[in-house]
Amino acid sequence: MALKAIIYKANVSFSDLDRNVYADHTLTLARHPSETEERLMIRLLAYILNAPATRDHGSLEFGKDMWEADEPALSQHDLTGLLLHWIELGLPEEKRLVRLCGRSKKVTVYSFSPTTPAWWTAMKDRMSRVHNLTVWQIPAAQSQALGALAARSMDLQVTLQDDGLWISVGDTSVEITPLRLFGGSKE
């Protein structure tokens, strides 16, 4: 008998103090039986950091990457269906990244593995030819602390200032300092 996805609900209050962007999100996430809570929270964080301010150019959607190998973790399509932004989690292979960069206007990778530095050292020279790729490293200890905040029902306060993120649930807070390994800005 196949295991079913576990549903998580998150109410997120996001404040980007550097850009004066404030948003509230009410999100429902399905966690695949093989997905860790750490990865689920990185998906949620990727959504928060990349959600467009308006839906004029489409909205950001959670993908089915855990169910379908050729699906993104998150994606944004414009109102005509054109793929604007593909978001990957983990340590994707070079061939996959090059293919995705050809299919989407923008590709972003959020890596949270302790082996990210070794993976990126092997990849960075070969990825220099793509210009629409951004790669972020979330330090492993910080992503694990973020995963510990996961609950089936969450009320999160997320503040972004000076390239640092503070995520709070009640009295518990986690600081995340994403490190840009490659590419343009977060926007």
Q: Delimit the domains of the chain by residue range.
A: 8-182
- pLDDT on residue 65: 84
Tell me the β-bridge partners of 12. Answer: 25, 156
- pLDDT on residue 187: 40
Find the helix packing angle between 37-50 and 140-147, rounded to 10°: 100
CA gap 144, 174 in Å, rounded? 10
* Count of other CB atoms within 10 angstroms of residue 165: 21
Q: What is the pLDDT along the chain (187 residues), one digit of tens a residue?
A: 678 899 999 999 999 998 888 999 999 999 999 999 999 999 999 999 999 877 787 889 999 888 887 899 999 999 999 999 999 999 999 999 999 999 999 999 999 999 999 999 999 999 988 999 999 999 999 999 999 999 999 999 999 999 899 999 999 999 999 999 999 754 4
- pLDDT on residue 35: 94
- pLDDT on residue 23: 92
3.10.640.10, 3.30.43.10, 1.20.144.10, 2.60.120.200: CATH of 8-182: 3.10.640.10
- pLDDT on residue 1: 60
Q: Measured in whole angstroms, how far is the alpha carbon of residue 27 from the centre of its chain?
A: 14
Q: Which of 56, 40, 114, 105 is nearest to 48 (CA)?
A: 40
- pLDDT on residue 118: 96
- pLDDT on residue 185: 53
- pTM value is 0.92
Helix, strand, coil tally for the chain in percent (to 5): 20, 40, 40
